[in-house]
Amino acid sequence: MRVLLVEDDETLRENLAAALRGAGYVVDGAGDGVEGQYLGEVEDYDAVILDLGLPERPGLEVLKHWRAQGNDVPVVVLTARDAWHERVDGLKAGADDYLGKPFHTEELLARLDAVIRRASGANRGVRLSVGDLELDEDHQQVRVAGGEPQPLTATEFRLLKYFMLNAGKILSKQRLVEHIYAYDADRDSNVLEVYVRRLRAKIGKERIETLRGQGYRLRERP
C-alpha cells in the first residue's frame, strides 16, 4: 500500500511518515501544494493524506484539481482545529474523510485504512480475508485455513495486502512495483519475482497465478 503525505510541517510529516511505515505503508512525502499535486498526478497511490494549509498551493485547490482530472484516489484531509468550514470545504471538494489537528496517529491510521478498504470494496472493521486467507494487519501475519499464523516481512506484507485488496484482478508487475516501493526507491521487477516466490512459499504456490506477459493474479478461491 502506497500513500502520499502532503504536509508542510516537517516534524509532523516525518513523525507521521515513520508511523505509516511502521504500519506497513510505503510513504512519499511532499512539503508544499505544488509538489504534492504533481506527485498525485504522476504516481499511483492507494490513498493521500492532504494538509489543507499548504505553501505554494492550498490543499483545497490541489484536491479540486485532482478531482477535476478524474483522479479518484481516496483522500483524508487534515484541517486546522475548530475550523469546521475547512472540513465542509474539504468534503465538498471531494475528500473521503477529514481529521482536525491535533489528532492521534492511531486515529489517522484507522481512518486511512477505512478509506482504502471502502475504495477497494473490502469490509471495514473485520480482518481482511480472501477465501481462506486471513491477514492480521496488527501483527503483519497471514493465516491459511486455520493453520498457524505466519509472520511477513514489511515488503511481503505490503505486497500481500495489495493482492488481497485486488483479489481476482490481473496486476501487472509495474503496477505491483509501484504500490510496494516508494517514488525514490530502486524499482526492480526482478526483486518483485523474489517476493512473489516468498509469498507463495507462505500461502501456497497455486494461490498466486502467473499470467505470461500480463502479471499476477491472486485467486479468490483456493
Residues in touch with Ca ion (CB under 5 A) = 8, 51, 53
Select 81 or 212, whichever has its Cβ closest to Ca ion: 81
Cell numbers found for residue 87: 472540513
Minimum CB separation from Ca ion for residue 40, in Å? Answer: 17
Minimum CB separation from Ca ion for residue 205, in Å? Answer: 48
Minimum CB separation from Ca ion for residue 16, in Å? Answer: 12
Cell numbers 485532482 label which residue?
66
Cell numbers found for residue 85: 468550514
Select 7 or 46, whichever has its Cβ closest to Ca ion: 7
- Distance (Å, whole) CA 170 – CA 25: 22
Cell numbers found for residue 185: 526507491
Please report, for the chain, how many H helices and E strands are present, in that order.
Answer: 8, 11
Select 51 or 113, whichever has its Cβ closest to Ca ion: 51
Select 51 or 86, whichever has its Cβ closest to Ca ion: 51
Pair type for strands 75-79 and 97-100: parallel
Minimum CB separation from Ca ion for residue 28, in Å? Answer: 17
Minimum CB separation from Ca ion for residue 51, in Å? Answer: 4
Select 8 or 61, whichever has its Cβ closest to Ca ion: 8
Select 86 or 113, whichever has its Cβ closest to Ca ion: 86
Torsion (CA) 201, 202, 206, 210 in degrees, nearest 10? -70
- Distance (Å, whole) CA 183 – CA 44: 10
Cell numbers found for residue 182: 516508494
Q: What are phi and psi of 114, to 5 degrees?
A: -65, -45
Minimum CB separation from Ca ion for residue 216, in Å? Answer: 39
Cell numbers found for residue 209: 497465478
Which residue, judged by CB position, is nearest to Ca ion in the bound state? 53
